[in-house]
Chains A and B, each alone.
Chain A
Amino acid sequence: MYGIIRHLFSAWAWQMAWRDSRPVRWRLMMFSASIVFGVAALVTIGSLRQNLNDAVGWQAKSLLGADLMVSSRQPYTKETEALLADLGRNGGEQAREVSFTTMLSVGNTTTPKLVSLRGLDGAFPFYGNIVTTPADAWQKVVDEPGVVVEASFLKNMDAKIGDMAKIGDLELPVLGVLEQAPPSASGFAAFSPTVLTSLDVIKKSNLTGNKSLVFYRTYFKLPNGVDAQALVKKNAAMFEQQRLTRTTSKKRSENIEKAINRLYTFFNLIGFSALFLGGIGVAGAIHIHISERLQSVATLRCLGCSSARAFAVYLIQSIAMGIMGTLGGVLVGSGFVFILGLIVKNLPAGMLPFAVELAPTWFEITKASAVGVMICISFALLPLLAVRRVSPLAALRREQVSLQKSSRDPLRWIVIFGLVVFAFILTWWDTQDVANGWKTSLGYVGFLVAAFLFLAASGKLLRWVARKLARPSWPFVIRQGIASLHRPNNQTGLFMVSIGLGTFLIFTLIMMQNILMQWLDPVRMSNKPNLFLVDIPPEEKRSVENLISDNGVKLLGNAPIVQMRLTEIKGRRVSELIKPAEGERPIPKWILRREFRSTYRESLTDTEKLVAGEWVGDTSEFQADDAIPVSFEQKLANDLGLKLGDEVTISIEGFGESKKLRVASLREVDWRSMNLNFFIVFPQGAIDEYVSFNVLAANSPDDESTAQLQQAMFNKLPFVNTIDLSLILRTVQSILTTAGKTVQVMALFTVVTGAIVLIASLLAGRRVRIRESVLLRTLGASRRQISSILAVEYALLALMATLAGSLLALIASILLGRAVFEGDPYQIPWGLLALGVAAVVSATVVIGMLLSRGISSQPPLQILRNEAAS
């Protein structure tokens, strides 16, 4: 090892590496391109992640508008007020907010829209600004009754500044439009237009009276030296007791960073995969190069060159390849980030939640470069190690020296082990910020290793089958083509691994995109609710149902809502469980604190399925004193440590009643379905008298029908909120389309890498094929026969490699579909896959024949002479 390192720094080794590469520089450069797209992907994704996280970090405080936010779903109690006052004693400033969603119309438009109405203290936000047109509009709203609304909303309503906004019986003038809204704590606000008014207006009106979703928030600007996180920690018990959620600006930015990191992890793993595939291309290229240089190595060894010195010469060439490929990758990746930066710069103001400047970062460039060069060298080492075993005696012998891979070479196993560990460390390093990141990287590397082993084993199986399969009665070209698969110096193993892995990665990406696109399926969409009507008093349910059907909207479901909280779990009070004893498994506090909105019904819906126990649809078989048999969502039951038959006690909000429940069944719920899903479902007849309000789910065929229904509802039952999900669905569709396009770009990167790897694999076997073809020609084989033999060999190799890769892709996409995308991974695009298999096989045969062109048309001696000279 020391010898190799010493020779790496000797001028002769570099000079020799340069001279030796003379006739093949273009080829080495071309193959160095196999890592270009992997490195480009890492530079792009890494830089985007860092840019976004930096932007979040710099603007952390303005993302929340304060240092600390305390939020409640109920009006503040005396104890809460005391706690807030206590927090205020740290100095600094406070501002309050009451917000909720409500139906609002402006001007002459009678069709109301659901908006997020925020009543704010004038002091908020402490960091960042509210920007309006006219500039003093927000100040006016603080001083006198009025609202400011989003410009697009006003345009949508065909209204103007000065028109009156109507919310129930309350009428307020529109004093301006929002150019930059204050930071919002509510995720839902992103999907409904924001309307700002003063806190006084909300307090004086009766708007919150019949609302089920009202948020009461207090924002703190803390003096320098007071740590918001420490304050939260110190008062944790009181916050828990008062069921208050709290967010610090730091936590907020951390949460955003977490979301960015999760996305980054996924795309980064695709980038790594492209890089590993490129590594195989490099290994193939070095294999070809070294095979052609073995005679020279033997001569050099004869002339007194040590094996370490000869090894250093070719290692330098591999390092140069790594550097060239990496430089190419850095250029492509940086160019991509620059273009994205220009696009983002030209986006309309307000399209992104925070300002971000996109530019490639030096850290990510350095990291990706180091990774690119390391991967290139590691993969190159696999064929390169054979240089050490070239005997000088080979120069004396007349026979052709061939590349001998030795599975007994300990260094070969050390390199392979090192590659696996390197891959794990790399992916683990990048998944550290994600929960269970090490498991993700272990799973990823494990699957990659399994894929390698599977493909290598498939290669062995193919060789065995080829040996047993051919029959003397078969046509000559078929027998020769099949024999090429198992003859000495065959390329079956290399092909199976390189083409198989390429196919596996590309097909996995295609199928992932397919899973993403399932969400956009119009048929699937037409049976899903896109309209929810909430806050319907039980006595008005029938009228709402009639209005829905009268306006051509399809009613999909109804859920009577009973609000409740857990008070005891398996005989232990919730207040005890919040502070678990040492060694006791803690129950997530949000579950113990939350208000559950539960329902009752006779049967299961199509977005849930029973996984344990017995579904109880009514209480006809139970006595009033019995615990009510209910169905729990299985993850919630698991978090609470509940099994079938266990008992819990609830208190029904607003009625002061307690009920004992028994876990009769467990359900798996598809929460993504945007349907009426619940954690706890009661049998009919058990809690019917405690219904607070009803929620109806409906599917509206178009925006016009939605508008008509909203208008009718506003006229007859103004307290009913109509939540139009079409905006959310459109946003989700847009996000999925963007994600799908990103996957497409990554797939394109991988296809280009795969094509280079394919060429490398084909060239790797070219010399052997030429020799065989020349021999056959000398013995009288026609050009047509030689071409047919090659075509049969390439087609068989490509078909088997592609099928093995497709099988791996199917397994990977099913695992990913279940674990990550939560789509239906069994909806396999068979047609697309078949097309993919045909494309890869055709490309292999066509490129293979193109690379072999001339072999069958030139005189044998000329070919041999040309090859000897190369």
Chain B
Amino acid sequence: MATKFILKTYELTKTYTSGDHNLTVLDGVSIGVPMGETAAIVGPSGSGKTTLLGLCAGLDRATSGSVELDGCDISELGEDDRASLRSESLGFIFQNFQLMPTLTALENVLIPGELSGMNGEALTKRAADLLSRVGLGERMKHYPNQLSGGEQQRVAIARAFIHQPQVLFADEPTGNLDEEASEIVENMLFDLNRELGTALVVVTHDLELAKKASHVFRLKGGKLVKNSDH
């Protein structure tokens, strides 16, 4: 049976122009992530990892090439349609957590659901369940500055799963955490991936974390140098 890909890129290239100087940060990268599976994008600093993640998630436009999400070419979509796609099908986890400082933990978790048009008690209950699941059931009304880094990232994980996305993009999810917190976060990510069937795409420097993924894409100088499956 042919593998069904939730995410595919074709000859993805990103070039920045500064004056009359062109800088290619991503050069003809083609990758594929099967539905419900995990993938890690690894490489040294400046290799184009975050650029590739941004293009895959529709946060930026490629100079050439295309990105297909669940069979839909997002390169053809307008800004609002891509935003709509993100709110419905994608989740994000950032290295620096990116929680809204003015919102409580619960309110932060609610946002993606609210953006995709879900609301009411069912959404709030689900958010509360997710927060309990990540061990923050007692901290729902706390603001980000009242939480530790690991706790903030756990809120971010709950936020990422609230609307049951098809793909979860994680950018160095443990980059700002200590070893213990990193382990908790990693386990949660992979557990939820398995439970909810969400495909996981992780950008990381951490080779141990990368080993846990079923597919590893290694970038160097903007090019895909290795594509390995575990």
Contact = CB atoms under 8 A, between A and B. Distances in A.
Contacts of A300: 100, 111, 115
Interface stretch (B2-10, B91-99, B192-200, B213-221): B91-99
Nearest to B114: A12
8 contacts: A302-B57, A305-B83, A308-B80, A392-B59, A397-B50, A869-B143, A869-B145, A870-B101
A22 B88 CA distance: 27
Nearest to A298: B98
B137 interface: no
Interface of B: 50, 53-54, 57, 59-60, 79-80, 83-88, 90, 92, 94-96, 98-103, 107, 111-112, 114-116, 119, 143-145, 159, 171
A23 B102 contact: yes
Interface in A379-412: 391-393, 395-398
Given A391-B60, A870-B101, A303 B112 contact: yes
A465 B86 CA distance: 48
Q: Which of A20, A299, A302 has the most CB of B within 10 A?
A: A302
B101 A304 contact: no
Contacts of B88: 304
Contact of B90 (A24, A301, A304): A304
Interface string A1-37: 0010000000010010001111110000000000000
Nearest to A11: B119
A309 B99 CA distance: 18
Given A12-B115, A869-B101, A306 B80 contact: yes
A470 B87 CA distance: 51
Given A12-B115, A20-B102, A391-B60, A396 B94 contact: yes
Contacts of A298: 98
A299 B144 CA distance: 14
A295 interface: yes
Given A309-B83, A393-B59, 4 more contacts: A20-B102, A21-B102, A299-B98, A398-B96
A868 interface: yes
Interface string A568-599: 00000000000000000000000000000000
B80 A395 contact: no
Given A299-B100, A396-B53, A868-B145, A306 B83 contact: yes
Contacts of B112: 303-304
A110 interface: no
Contacts of A301: 59, 83
Contacts of A295: 98
Contacts of B60: 391, 393
A296 interface: yes
Contacts of B96: 398
B105 to A, nearest CB: 13
B59 A19 contact: no
User: At the interface, is chain A mostly helix, strand, loop or mixed?
Assistant: helix
A298 B94 CA distance: 12
Contact of B85 (A12, A304, A396): A304
A515 B80 CA distance: 59
A868 B79 CA distance: 29
Given A12-B115, A392-B59, A395-B92, A307 B102 contact: no
Given A305-B115, A870-B101, A396 B54 contact: yes
Given A393-B60, A396-B53, A20 B86 contact: no
A608 to B, nearest CB: 68
B126 to A, nearest CB: 16
A395 B98 CA distance: 7
Given A868-B145, A870-B101, A302 B115 contact: no
Q: Which of B79, B101, B107, B114 has the most CB of A within 10 A?
A: B101
Q: Which of A15, A299, A397 has the most CB of B within 10 A?
A: A299
A19 B50 contact: no
Contacts of B114: 12, 15
Contacts of A869: 101, 143-145
A196 to B, nearest CB: 75
Interface in A302-331: 302-309
Contact of A304 (B86, B102, B119): B86
A413 B197 CA distance: 49
A383 B143 CA distance: 27
Contact of A19 (B79, B84, B102): B102
Contact of A396 (B80, B107, B119, B171): B171
A307 B79 contact: yes
A302 B59 contact: yes
B87 A303 contact: yes
A595 B152 CA distance: 92
B84 A306 contact: yes
Contact of B107 (A19, A296, A309): A19
A304 B171 contact: no
Contacts of B83: 301, 304-307, 309, 392
Nearest to B78: A306
Contacts of B145: 865, 868-869
Q: Which of A15, A21, A396 has the most CB of B within 10 A?
A: A396
Contacts of B94: 299, 302, 395-396
A444 to B, nearest CB: 41
Contacts of A397: 50
A596 B112 CA distance: 86
Contacts of B99: 299
A867 B143 CA distance: 14
A295 B94 CA distance: 12
B41 to A, nearest CB: 12
Contacts of B102: 19-24, 296
Contacts of A305: 83, 87, 115
Contacts of A21: 102
B59 A304 contact: no
Q: What are the nearest 4 A-B pairs in CB distance?
A: A304-B87, A869-B145, A304-B86, A306-B83
Interface in A532-559: none
Interface in A826-870: 865, 868-870
A302 B115 CA distance: 11
B152 to A, nearest CB: 11
A392 B85 CA distance: 13
Q: Which of A299, A304, A305 has the most CB of B within 10 A?
A: A304
A531 B91 CA distance: 90
